[in-house]
Structure 1
Amino acid sequence: MTGIQFITNQKGQKTDLIISLEEHGQIAQDLLDSLLVEERKNEDSIPFEDFVTQLRIEGK
């Protein structure tokens, strides 16, 4: 596959990945979005309506 490079350590183990954003930008963005969702899945949340109300109270 073009636009993909693996970086290996001295033992030949793959440690990093370089992705061409020109060729695979949308896939990279989707991956980052998925990682953010996973990272934030246990955060507290509020209903959307409460969020909008709070923004209005703050004049935003």
Structure 2
Amino acid sequence: MGNETPGERRERLRQKELSNPSSSGHGSNLADLVGGLGWKGTGIFIFQIVAGFIIYSLFFR
């Protein structure tokens, strides 16, 4: 640990945080969700949000 580069230190801390996500104090966030879905899942997620907004605006106008 004494002679690790700043990049190695960042990576070590990131891996430690990933192995214990509750230590960050945040829980799950949008970045974690989108990162786990991939680009197709993200596209479907955005489409569902837009479609839900359109349907909501049509019925509750």
Fold match by TM threshold 0.5? no
Higher helix share: 2
TM-score category (smaller protein) = 0.3 to 0.5
In the superposition, the TM-score normalised over structure 2's length comes to: 0.38
Larger RCO (CA under 8 A, 6+ residues apart)? 1
TM-score (norm 1): 0.38
